Amino acid sequence: MLRPTNRAAPLAPAADARTRLLTGPILATMTRLSVPNIALVGAQAAVNVAETYFVGRLGTDALAGVTLVFPIVMLMQMMSAGAMGGGISSAIARALGGHRQTDADALAWHAVLIALLLGAGFTFAALVFGPALYQAMGGHDATLSNALEYSNIVFGGAAFVWLMNSLANVLRGSGDMRTPAVITVTGALIMIAVSPLLIFGFGPLAGLGLRGAALALVAYYFAGCAILGWRIVRGPTLVALRPRRPAWRHFAQILKVGVPACVHAALINTAVAVTTGFVGVYGATALAGYGIGTRLEYLQIPIVFGLGATLVAMVGTNVGAGQLERARRIAWTGGLFAAAVCGTIGAIVTLVPRLWAGIFTDDPEVLAIASQYFHAVGPSYGFLGLGMALYFSFQGTGRMLWPLVCVTLRILVIAAGCTLATRAFGFGLGSLFAVTAAALVMFGLMYAIGVWRYFSRSGELRR
């Protein structure tokens, strides 16, 4: 007899989606599901590039101010989309893989509750602790003022960021990659058109400067979460979104992956923030150049997310169905593909750094620092892609201890290496970039070891 909490007859489309995830050709299925996600991250990348381009036209102080806020904004986006969002996708994928339809529906509602609570928490933390944090990262005078102007508006709308990304991951966990992509791409195109009007003004409409950039970003997420919510509620979708009494077991299914994943995202951004603090000692010009470099590093994370969201659904569904050998092959296929993509990006900016840096500034000193960054860090981007893709595979398994080990070692290497390089040996700005590269190489290799260990031990236990 079936438990009353789980419907016996899931919808036919859900069964078809599960069949593709469980039995379809790995590379073909991965490619088909990832195409909408790649379009999505392409749109998000365009938003980031466009915003940096427009802000760069406001001057070095504005660009440096946004550089201070950017790691925290990316932390929120990574937590909501790839961390807690991955927990949502993983929990729903495993529920559907095990034919527990009603559990999947309940998880969707609990995902909304988690998003609203965490969005409110980010707003509170940014307003209260933001000034001290940006000062600690090297913000002073006009740079600090610009950082706060931008930060207060963006984080005032944090709930919209969390809700939009959570609703998107509800759909991704069920194998629907297309709907979030269409909505996000459309919104991104509109934002790119509206953003310069708010920043610089148009005709009699006065420009709002950095406030305009922040308002455009908040409006983008507000519209996205409203449309995604309407789409899930009105259907047809593979999961239902209806208010229901909160139950700890549903929170736990999301949080057991989402909380460690959020810690993982926090440590990744902490690593960047620590490096930013060391770079800030060298002034606003160094911060601006470094910010251009880290913008490309951060850009690769959503690029990998385009593949990673698929990995969460595919690995999670197969682990839920007990198909560990297939899950292992999915993880390695995705990891090597991401390494190739990010490695190609790294090779290009290593050889021609101004191809990217020249988009954002004409200042020769800022360009020189950005070029120095890419010469040091660009060759290690393949390891960043490998590590991040395998991280999403770990989310699909529901096991998150090893990812925390990997990212903790990365931040320890950065903190210790930067301290020794600049304060003990006095090597200068270039040494900070070399330490960043070494930490990325270690990050990717540690993840490869972790995936090998997980599936080897799981296979032995099943035998």
Instruction: Write out 300-337 in H/E/C secondary structure.
Output: HHHHHHHHHHHHHHHHHHHHHCCCHHHHHHHHHHHHHH
User: Got the DSSP string for 159-193?
Assistant: HHHHHHHHHHHHHHHTT--HHHHHHHHHHHHHHHH
Q: Can you list the alpha helix ranges (DSSP code H) found in 174-247?
A: 178-200, 210-234
Q: Minimal CA–CA distance to 164: which of 240, 101, 76?
A: 76
pLDDT at 342: 93
Residues 30 and 333: beta-carbon distance below 8 Å: yes
In Å, the largest CA–CA distance within the chain is 73
Q: How many CB atoms lie within 10 A of CB 23?
A: 12
**222-to-47, 215, 433, 452 alpha-carbon distances in Å:** 15, 10, 37, 41
Residues 173 and 32: beta-carbon distance below 8 Å: no
pLDDT at 231: 80
pLDDT at 235: 66
Residues 13 and 100: beta-carbon distance below 8 Å: no
Tokens 């996000």, residue located: 184
Residue ranges covered by each domain of the chain: 25-458
SS3 content of the chain, % helix, strand, coil (to 5): 85, 0, 15
CA distance 455 to 399: 11
pLDDT at 10: 42
381-397 vs 84-97: helix crossing angle, rounded to 10: 50
Question: Per the structure block, which two tokens stand in for 457?
Answer: 């031990």
pLDDT at 159: 92
CA distance 463 to 459: 6
Would you write out the chain's pLDDT as a tens digit for each of its 463 residues? 333 334 333 444 445 556 777 777 888 888 887 777 777 777 777 777 777 778 777 877 788 888 788 778 877 887 887 778 878 887 887 777 667 777 777 888 888 899 999 999 999 998 999 888 888 877 777 888 888 888 899 999 999 999 998 888 888 877 777 788 888 888 888 888 888 888 888 877 777 888 888 888 888 889 888 888 888 777 666 676 777 788 888 888 888 888 888 887 778 778 877 888 888 778 888 888 888 888 788 778 777 877 887 888 788 878 877 888 888 899 999 999 999 999 999 999 999 998 888 887 888 888 899 999 999 999 999 999 999 999 888 888 878 889 889 989 998 998 899 888 877 777 788 888 999 999 999 999 999 999 988 888 765 545 4
CA distance 268 to 310: 21
pLDDT at 4: 37
Q: Minimal CA–CA distance to 303: which of 347, 339, 354, 265?
A: 339
Question: Per the structure block, which two tokens stand in for 293?
Answer: 């470099």
Beta strands in 22-166 (DSSP E): none
CA distance 240 to 351: 50
CA distance 218 to 203: 23
3-state secondary structure of 201: strand
Q: How many residues does the chain have?
A: 463
Question: Per the structure block, which two tokens stand in for 182?
Answer: 């269409």
CA distance 185 to 253: 30
CA distance 309 to 305: 6
